[in-house]
A and B are shown apart, each in its own frame.
Chain A
Amino acid sequence: MPLTKQEWLGLEKKAHELRKATLDTTFWAGSGHIGGGMSVLDMLVILYYKYMKIKKDEPLWEDRDRLILSKGHAGIAYAPLLVDLGFNDADQLKTFNHTSSKMGMHLDSNKVVGVDASTGSLGHGLSIAVGTALAAKIKGKGYKTFAILGDGECDEGSNWEAAMTAAHYKADNMISFVDRNRCMIDGKTEEVMALEPLADKWKAFGFIVKEVDGHNFKELAEAIDFAYENKGAPVMIIANTVKGEGIDFMEGNYLWHYGAIDEAKYEDAKKSLDRHYQKRVARVE
């Protein structure tokens, strides 16, 4: 399913709207994991608005494609998307992180409609994704499972346990991503705990690896199309991204893993997102 120019423009528009909604949600919450939310957002957008088979009026449809957001702290970017799909009430975003809200920073699959797994403790999502992928094979279902990991999260050993299982059982119905924004709480990934050569690690664990610009929908689409055609092994798409993508004073700065937004920052960020959108649209082919 190659990406047409019209589709690409549509995805850029959707991503821009959801970036603004993520910023709004962070502002209403007072603070949030906005840096990693902005870096992962384009992956979420292309999956939900181009590829994933879901039914808006039947969120628990048995044959739906699944998405396991292993970097559960990006809930602040995921929640606006799940609202946009019509799964949840828009007013809930205004209560994000507030006492007794259905939406906390790590989304609860029993409370937020459309969330396939409650994540938050890092290094859990890939195992859960392997489970849903193998279940599809046992039950003869054709659905896909998508997993999105943070790069810092790859420090967790449990990911590599899951990786071995995915390869051993040939989970080729599972398509995984690493949001490679190169930042974690305490600093740059390569300074805190070096991950490179990350692609070689996944290859050594039996994955077919594609590396793309995680903010380029054409490259993402090509990698996902490749993964759909692939048979016999799981695919890992390493998406090179920018922490805080779209908000200039956050971009690439690990200190924006989690941050607070006041009114002045909120206004600056909105203007930055508009400029970012113009730049992104200008490169659409």
Chain B
Amino acid sequence: MAGLTYTAVDSTALATTELFGKALVDAAKAHDDVVALTADLAKSTKMVEFKDAFPDRFFNVGIAEQNLFGVAAGMAKAGLTPYISSFSQFACLRAGDQLHSDICYQKANVKIIATHSGTSFGQAGSTHHAIADFAVTRGLPNLTVICPADGVETYNAVLAAYGIKGPVYIRINRGFDMVLNKTSDYGFEIGKAVTVHEGSDITVIATGSCVYQALQAAQFLDNTDGIKVRVLNMHTIKPIDREAVIKAIGDTRRIITAEDHNIIGGLGSAVADVIAENGQACAFKKLGIPDMFMAVGLHEDLMAGIGIDSNGIIAAVREVMGKDFEADENWDDEV
């Protein structure tokens, strides 16, 4: 949005959902076709600021996610641009059929803000952990899937989504994210990974809250082990930035993915598709939720428990770097 730049100072004072709320207001100021709808989660998903600014363009349908998605589809078909918010778990599964048929199939221009994603609402337990939403949304044609790394990137994604004529799913966390981007002016582009740390030995491709953790790990490993870790912020899960993955294969021949999602069907699977189809040998490891329902707990504790925090990523990098690929006669480690 021209003239508006959010900085780390703003973002440290604001939860990620609050930056979504501000972006939504800015989008609505710029475009009078923007409307907002939620299902009794205006406070939790921080749509309140929009509600106060544009009461005639705000709709709360009550605790009725299926209806939320259908109503939004109808509004989009009548020429409006609805932004709708719910918790990720309900957005992808409770309203999954409406997401599929009313929104994706009909290319309805609806922007879905799926909050409390992954295990970020850890204490709420598995009914509120969205561990399969990448798997669901990746399988839906016409849908763009974005997982911002922090509040500032959320701000960028919410505004950039307006520029896509079709459905967009933006997955964000509950609460505060560690600050990755000190300013919103870093060239965010849907579908293009951001290199947040350059490296030539191994690439960690991360998304959402794992990007900050991967950056911490890369800086640590540089200092302690001398391992040069490239970190890619893969904020767009679909369409995946194939070029960035293929370049990482060629440059580093070792890739680790990290995501707050089931290791089945998410970022790791998307990257694995690219690696397999590319045909060049590449050591590969997926970090994520190991196909299980997670314990109740603080987000950071849960991330540490499954090794998608900086310590877990450091351990995984050392493991993959320590593998003796020379023993495999088909392995060509020349890069």
Is A4 close to B, CB under 8 A? Answer: no
Once the chains are docked, how many angstroms separate the CA of A110 from the CA of B62? Answer: 30
Inter-subunit contact B105/A139 (CB<8 Å):
no
Give per-residue flags for B72-99: 1 if the beta carbon is below 8 A from chain A beta carbons, else 0. Answer: 1111111110000000000000000110
| B106 at interface, CB cutoff 8 A | yes
A261 within 8 A of B: no
Q: Given contacts A129-B74, A130-B71, is CB(A118)–CB(B62) below 8 Å? A: no
**Residue of B35, B71, B80 touching A127 (CB-CB under 8 A):** B71
Q: Which A182-241 residues have a C-beta within 8 angstroms of B?
A: none
The distance in angstroms between the C-alpha atoms of A135 and B72, with both chains bound, is 9
A195 to B193, CA, bound (A): 53
**Complex interface: chain B residues within 8 A of A123 (CB):** 66
Please tell me the number of chain B residues within 8 Å of chain A, measured between CB atoms: 29
Contact B71 A131 (CB under 8 A): yes
For A143, the closest partner residue in chain B by CB is B78
Given contacts A127-B66, A164-B64, contact A116 B77 (CB under 8 A): yes
For residue A129, which residue of chain B has the nearest CB? B74
The residue in chain B whose Cβ has the minimal distance to the Cβ of A165 is B61
Asked whether A132 and B67 contact (CB < 8 A) given A109-B106, A164-B62, the answer is no
A124 at interface (Cβ–Cβ under 8 A)?
yes
Q: Are A158 and B67 in contact (CB under 8 A)?
A: yes
Quick check: is A120 within 8 A (CB to CB) of the other chain? yes
| B329 at interface, CB cutoff 8 A | no
Cβ-defined contact, A128 with B70, below 8 A: yes
Interface string of A120-147 (1 = CB under 8 A from B): 1101101111111111101101000100
Whether the Cβ atoms of A131 and B78 lie closer than 8 Å is yes
A residues near B77, Cβ cutoff 8 Å: 109, 116-117, 128, 131-132, 135
Closest to B82 in A: A131
Q: Are B59 and A127 in contact (CB under 8 A)?
A: no
A126 to B98: give the CA distance in the assembly, Å: 12
Let me know if B102 is at the binding interface, CB within 8 A: yes
Q: Which of B56, B70, B100, B106 has the most CB of A within 10 A?
A: B70
> Is A51 part of the contact surface with B, judged by Cβ < 8 Å?
no
Bound complex: CA of A123 vs CA of B79, how far in Å?
23
CB distance from A75 to the nearest CB of B (A): 14
A118 touches B105 (CB 8 A): yes
Please tell me if B107 contacts chain A, counting CB pairs below 8 Å: yes
A121 touches B101 (CB 8 A): yes
Q: Give the chain B neighbours of A68 by CB distance below 8 A.
A: 74
Contacts of B67 in A (CB 8 A): 127, 130, 158, 161-162, 164-165
A132 smallest CB distance to B (angstroms)? 4
Query: How many angstroms between the C-alpha atoms of A256 and B79 in the bound complex?
Result: 38
Q: Is B169 an interface residue (CB 8 A)?
A: no
A221 to B309, CA, bound (A): 66
Q: Is the CB of A135 within 8 A of B74?
A: yes
List the 6 shortest-distance A-B pairs measured between CB atoms, nearest first.
A131-B74, A127-B70, A135-B78, A161-B67, A161-B64, A128-B74
Using A118-B101, A161-B67 as known contacts, list a sample of 15 further A-B pairs with CB atoms less than 8 Å apart, ordered by residue number in A. Answer: A66-B78, A68-B74, A108-B105, A110-B106, A117-B74, A119-B101, A121-B100, A127-B67, A131-B70, A131-B75, A131-B77, A131-B78, A139-B79, A161-B62, A165-B59
28 A–B contacts from the bound complex (CB under 8 Å): A62-B79, A109-B77, A110-B106, A117-B74, A118-B106, A120-B101, A121-B97, A123-B66, A124-B98, A127-B74, A128-B71, A128-B102, A129-B74, A130-B67, A130-B70, A132-B78, A135-B77, A135-B79, A138-B56, A139-B78, A145-B74, A158-B70, A158-B98, A161-B62, A162-B67, A165-B61, A165-B71, A169-B59
